[in-house]
Amino acid sequence: MVLEGKTALITGGSRGIGRAISELYYQEGATLIIMARNEQKLKEACAQIDKEHQGRVHPIACDVGNKDSIAAAFEQIKAQGLTIDILVNCAGINIREPLETFSLESWNKVMDVNLTGAFLITQACFEFMKDKGGKIVNIASLMSEIARPTIAAYTASKGGIKMFTRAIAIEWAKYNIQANAIVPGYIATEMNTALIEDEKFNKFICDRTPQGRWGKPEEVAAAALFFATPGANFITGQVLAVDGGILASL
């Protein structure tokens, strides 16, 4: 119960990697504020996480790509008398288009959710952390370090998340706020089901990953837990790959 007495805000926490982080933080005693766009699915996920009905999970519907939605969400947090000790920026989207025809609309949509949204959420959390310290965990991507065709906006946004993490770390260190990022490799989430079932692509990923398999959401969650604990109090501005060795290999 290393997070007992702490409250964590997790964006995109109702499914995939965010859901795994939410579940592990809950198991370790944290009170959760979980944000997601789909209110119905969000409430269902929160009920499943808080299956013992301890009242430690608070759903807040929010589109992190919309500044007004973010402002309204934080008004709800304040109205409920909640605090924030840990922030996990996990919400993200991807749009695939060839670079030469990538529309400005698609570019802005990806940036608004993946980068600007993380900036606005982080900035809003400062009020809760400035006097007592805090932990910020940003979910970056392999595309923070390497690139693939047709995802220029996603790649740029996740590269931005890496450097935004370092900017937070050096600027807010004086407030005892630590910020670190996680670079997940190819993780077996429901969003990747079609890719896993694609025999050719699945073989490509397993061959490209030194450990020869897809990662598990709970393996990313374990890293997010470490960064949220006192054991990481002197670690800030770091980017940790949970990728089965992809970035270490040719």
- 175 flagged as catalytic: no
What 60-64 contacts at long range (C-beta under 8 Å, 24+ apart), as own/partner pairs, is 60/33, 60/34, 60/35, 61/35, 61/36, 61/37, 62/11, 62/35, 62/36, 62/37, 63/37, 64/11, 64/12, 64/35, 64/37, 64/91, 64/113, 64/117, 64/118, 64/120, 64/121
Q: Which of 25, 154, 175, 186 is catalytic?
A: 154
Cβ–Cβ < 8 Å for 21, 216 = no
Rounded CA separation 163/150 (Å): 22
The CA distance from 139 to 154, in Å, is 13
Contacts of 153 (CB under 8 A, 6+ apart): 95, 102, 106, 107, 110, 111
Q: Could you give the residue numbers annotated as active site?
A: 154
